[in-house]
Amino acid sequence: MVGSTGRVTGRIGPGLVGEVMVYVRERSGTEAFLAHPAVPGEQLAVGTPVVVVEYQPPRTVYVAALP
């Protein structure tokens, strides 16, 4: 899961639990996950491409924006 890429579908920021759609190779499909910023205080708008930095089962990820 760590290293997977996706796109923000619900704004992520301080005090907010956002949502991302991430491609899950093991299941060959895209799935929704609750998301927090990997960098404290960072805000990620809807549509921002991201990479998963940390995964907390079952459905929570910490993400960073892709350059």
Confidence of residue 50 (pLDDT cuts 50, 70, 90): very high
What residue numbers bound the domain in which 55 lies?
5-65
Reported as a single tens digit per residue, the pLDDT across 1-30 is 999 999 999 999 988 999 999 999 888 899
Residue pair 49/37 in contact by the 8 Å Cβ criterion: no
Number of domains in the chain: 1
Q: How many helices (H) and strands (E) does the chain have?
A: 0, 5
Structure tokens at 61: 């990820």
Q: Does 54 have pLDDT greater than 90?
A: yes
pTM summary value: 0.92
Q: DSSP string spanning 24-36?
A: EGGGTEEEEEEEE
Instruction: Give the pLDDT mean for 32-36.
Output: 98
CATH number of the domain within which 12 lies:
2.40.50.140
Cα–Cα distance, 47 to 28 (Å, whole number): 21
Q: Does 35 have pLDDT greater than 90?
A: yes
